[in-house]
Structure 1
């Protein structure tokens, strides 16, 4: 059996005086899996993603990613962890409009201290592999939504992270572009990339992942393999 990339054990996170966003949640994601986290708004999906990404800390329980106790990291340690271990793709791309496509993709490597020449070689390889090399010198605002999301994926993969997190990656796209991005996620997973997709879209989950985990009111109520 493949080793776990993500291990959450009895994680609880509450805000203010309301009910917990997550309540005693345990989850394991193994190397090479593609897992969708499903649930309506307020179910705890975003909290779960933020805990895995080291953007938040649990009130109790443990969060371990690729052997690192993420819940114990300080601010500097969490930033280093994200640079080295996690690639993130967002609903609204989060690209810098005043940088070219190539410079957006290179940015994580520059922050990690990679040599300029090596970083640009890596970016060129990714842009070629993702079918957008011809747009390397363009600015994001001149691209379609689907193309911008491919740039965002390239940027997320720049430092070869063991884990790719995608937060509603097709939420801002039309149907055709959304299907294109779902296909890209399938291809990445087929090549061995571990992926966690947070979405409310069951069709997306079933099209690009092999397992769905459903959250309701901060608790996992179902954890099922996707039938092919």
Structure 2
């Protein structure tokens, strides 16, 4: 049996003396799943994502991602882990305005030590597959929201991470661009990409996810598979 891509065991995250922001949580995500995490503001969604990405540490419990015990990582090891195993897509794209599209996509590969030629080939292949290769020399400010999000996805995938994390990826988009990105996320998962998607968008979850996890007050209150029909 294939090892899970994510495994949380009794994970708790607390801040100062308040109630836990998350947990205790037990959660397993298998390779190839697209898991939508939903819940109201303050339910623990962003905390969950930050723990998976080693941007924060749990107060207690064990987190394993792609065979790595994430809660044991220091700052330098956490950065290396993110470069190698995690692709991240954000609500506001986080592209560098002073770099052209191609150089934005190349940056994570260069930081990971991939040779310039290989990185360029990967970047151009991704931009072509995502339908934005015609903008390779353009700057992000000249692109629509949907186009910028496609570039952000290319950047997230350039190091071929086993896991893609998406934090409200349609939150800053107009209706047409939202539909575009929904289809993109669905297509990526159908190609085998494992995805954890944090969103308030019920339609996005229903369209893109194979599974829905709901949080409330830091705890999992619902965890159900979504049928292919709902997608």
Q: Does 1:191 align with 2:191?
A: yes
Residue in 2 that maps onto 1:61? 61
Residue in 1 that maps onto 2:108? 108
Give 1:1-20 correspondences, 5 Å limit: 2-20=2-20
**Gaps in structure 2 of 5+ consecutive residues:** none
Normalised TM-score (structure 1):
0.99
Q: Does 1:90 align with 2:64?
A: no
Give 1:194-213 correspondences, 5 Å limit: 194-213=194-213
Q: Does 1:144 align with 2:144?
A: yes
Q: Does 1:181 align with 2:181?
A: yes
Structure 1 SS opposite 2:20: coil
TM-superposed CA distance for 1:17, in Å, is 2.2
Distance 2:54 2:178 in 1: 27
**Gaps in structure 1 of 5+ consecutive residues:** none
Moved more, 98-107 or 7-16: 7-16
TM-superposed CA distance for 1:202, in Å, is 1.1
Residue in 2 that maps onto 1:21? 21
Distance 2:38 2:88 in 1: 17
Residue in 1 that maps onto 2:51? 51
Structure 1 SS opposite 2:5: strand
Structure 2 SS opposite 1:92: coil
Q: Does 1:221 align with 2:224?
A: no
Distance 1:158 1:87 in 2: 8
Structure 2 SS opposite 1:9: strand
Normalised TM-score (structure 2):
0.97
Structure 2 SS opposite 1:37: strand
Distance 1:209 1:93 in 2: 21
TM-superposed CA distance for 1:2, in Å, is 4.0
Q: Does 1:119 align with 2:119?
A: yes
Structure 2 SS opposite 1:93: coil
Moved more, 13-22 or 163-172: 13-22
Distance 2:196 2:122 in 1: 23
Deviations 1:63-109 (A, max 9, x none): 10000000000001000000000000000000000000000000000
TM-superposed CA distance for 1:29, in Å, is 0.4
Distance 1:5 1:76 in 2: 22
- Which structure 1 residue ranges, 4+ long, deviate > 6 Å from structure 2? none
Residue in 2 that maps onto 1:135? 135
Distance 1:149 1:23 in 2: 31
Structure 2 SS opposite 1:148: helix
Structure 2 SS opposite 1:4: coil
Q: Does 1:39 align with 2:39?
A: yes
* Alignment length (residue pairs): 228
Distance 1:147 1:140 in 2: 9
